[in-house]
């Protein structure tokens, strides 16, 4: 019996290692592509290992200068705005995450605690709004933002993404708030706390793992969003990283090494955030799985 358990442990361990390697393979390919020149990359596509290492791609996308050969004549003029695009993406993603968590936590708390007919209906209706394809809403959204003078602005991008991501956040936090015991909250209310004070002092601290998990998801979804910033903004000063990458896909040339260098930099915030909050994220996911 012990030998069989050990056998299955080895199989599961090997399967986990293979799954991790499979997930890391694209990142390794991006790294190898980012540290070599475009000529070296396309000279031998069957050899995944770079013939040499260079940081010219990173210097070029940060400064807009130093592109090899005649590549500069093909590149769009917005390649040199990566620092601004990085700042825009960070600002938008953090703002969207904060607003989604703020409004979603209050809505999820009301849905999970107030036993009215409209609470569950509100939850399902809010989630059903996301069943509408995004592209069908782009024209009326563009017209509405134009009337509000929010086109080509980070404010317009933030408000639009919050509207689309808020139902997801409400759904995630509602399930987590529903697993929290009511005893501490009721004890706080007996001691004189209002429902708002009990929410701020009891529920939110206990909900830190669930809020962290939801926050990481909201940040990554906002960070990788392409359609909304692409349609709302056309000026380089309000361009986000996904829009910048889309601008490198030309009908004349596809800049593999430049795109890989940008992708490698774009991975940094998501990876850092996940590593910093991994304790809360794992705790929140395990708690929801055990209590759900």
Residues 25 and 92 in one domain: no
Q: What pLDDT shows up at residue 185? A: 77
Residues 94 and 59 in one domain: no
Query: What is the mean predicted confidence (pLDDT) over 216-234?
Result: 90
Q: How do residues 11-27 score in pLDDT, each as one tens digit?
A: 888 999 999 889 888 88
More confident residue, 93 or 33: 93
**What residue has token string 């996940």?**
274
Query: What is the mean predicted confidence (pLDDT) over 241-262?
Result: 82
Residues 270 and 193 in one domain: yes
Query: Is 160 a residue whose pLDDT tops 80?
Result: yes
Q: How far is 172 from 178, CA to CA, in rounded Å?
A: 10
Biggest CA-to-CA distance, the chain? 74
Q: How do residues 188-224 score in pLDDT, each as one tens digit?
A: 778 778 878 888 888 888 888 888 888 988 998 999 9
Residues 34 and 130 in one domain: no
Residues 280 and 144 in one domain: yes
Query: Is 152 a residue whose pLDDT tops 80?
Result: yes
Question: Which pLDDT band holds residue 235 (cuts at 50, 70, 90)?
Answer: confident
How many folded domains does the chain comprise?
Answer: 2
The answer to which of 44-48, 97-101, 240-244 has the lowest mean pLDDT is 44-48
Domain boundary among 55, 74, 93: 74
Contact (Cβ atoms closer than 8 angstroms) between residue 104 and residue 166 = yes
With b for 16 or more beta-carbon neighbours within 10 A and e for fewer, the 57-72 pattern comes to: bbebbbebeebeeebe
More confident residue, 81 or 61: 61
Residues 27 and 97 in one domain: no
Question: Which pLDDT band holds residue 137 (cuts at 50, 70, 90)?
Answer: confident
More confident residue, 118 or 267: 267
Q: How do residues 265-288 score in pLDDT, each as one tens digit?
A: 998 888 888 788 777 666 655 554
Helix (H) or strand (E) holding 84: helix 82-113
Domain boundary among 49, 74, 99: 74
Q: What pLDDT shows up at residue 93? A: 95
Domain boundary among 26, 45, 74: 74
Domain harbouring 237, CATH code: 1.10.3720.10
Q: What pLDDT shows up at residue 36? A: 87
Q: What pLDDT shows up at residue 92? A: 96
Residues 20 and 69 in one domain: yes
Q: What pLDDT shows up at residue 80? A: 63
Q: What pLDDT shows up at residue 1? A: 57
Contact (Cβ atoms closer than 8 angstroms) between residue 241 and residue 86 = yes
Q: How do residues 90-109 score in pLDDT, each as one tens digit?
A: 999 999 999 999 999 988 88
Q: What percent of the chain has pLDDT over 70?
A: 87
pLDDT averaged over every residue in the chain: 82
Residues 136 and 66 in one domain: no
Q: What pLDDT shows up at residue 290? A: 43
Query: Is 248 a residue whose pLDDT tops 60?
Result: yes
Query: Is 52 a residue whose pLDDT tops 50?
Result: yes
Residue (of 61, 123, 69) closest to 257 by Cα position: 61
**What residue has token string 């933002």?**
145
Tokens of 224: 């990788």
Domain hosting 69: range is 2-74
Query: Is 291 a residue whose pLDDT tops 80?
Result: no
Residues 167 and 283 in one domain: yes
More confident residue, 286 or 162: 162
Residues 99 and 19 in one domain: no
Residues 58 and 193 in one domain: no
Residues 43 and 94 in one domain: no
Question: Which pLDDT band holds residue 39 (cuts at 50, 70, 90)?
Answer: confident
């Amino acid at each position: 019996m012990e030998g069989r358990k050990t056998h299955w442990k080895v199989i599961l361990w090997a399967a986990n290692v293979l799954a991790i390697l499979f997930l890391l393979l694209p990142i390794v390919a991006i790294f190898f592509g980012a540290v070599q020149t475009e000529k070296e990359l396309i000279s031998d596509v069957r050899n995944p290992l770079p013939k040499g290492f260079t940081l010219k791609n990173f210097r070029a996308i940060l400064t807009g200068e130093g592109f090899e050969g005649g590549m500069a004549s093909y590149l769009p003029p917005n390649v040199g705005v990566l620092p601004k695009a990085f700042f825009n993406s960070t600002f938008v993603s953090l703002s969207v995450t904060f607003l989604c968590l703020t409004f979603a936590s209050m809505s999820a708390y009301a849905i999970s605690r107030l036993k009215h007919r409209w609470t569950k209906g509100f939850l399902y209706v809010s989630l059903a709004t996301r069943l509408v394809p995004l592209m069908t809403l782009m024209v009326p959204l563009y017209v509405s933002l134009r009337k509000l003078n929010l086109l080509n602005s980070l404010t317009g991008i933030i408000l639009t993404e919050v509207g689309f991501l808020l139902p997801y956040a409400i759904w995630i936090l509602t399930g987590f708030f529903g697993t929290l015991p009511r005893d501490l909250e009721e004890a706080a209310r007996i001691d004189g706390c209002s429902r708002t004070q009990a929410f701020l002092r009891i529920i939110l601290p206990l909900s830190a793992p669930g809020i962290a998990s939801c926050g990481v998801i909201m940040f990554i979804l906002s960070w990788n969003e392409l359609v909304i910033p692409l349609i709302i903004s056309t000026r380089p000063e309000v361009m986000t990283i996904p829009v910048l990458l889309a601008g490198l896909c030309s009908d004349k040339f596809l800049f593999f090494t430049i795109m890989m260098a940008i992708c490698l930099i774009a991975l940094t915030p998501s990876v850092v955030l996940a590593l910093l909050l991994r304790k809360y994220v794992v705790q929140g996911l395990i708690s929801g799985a055990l209590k759900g």
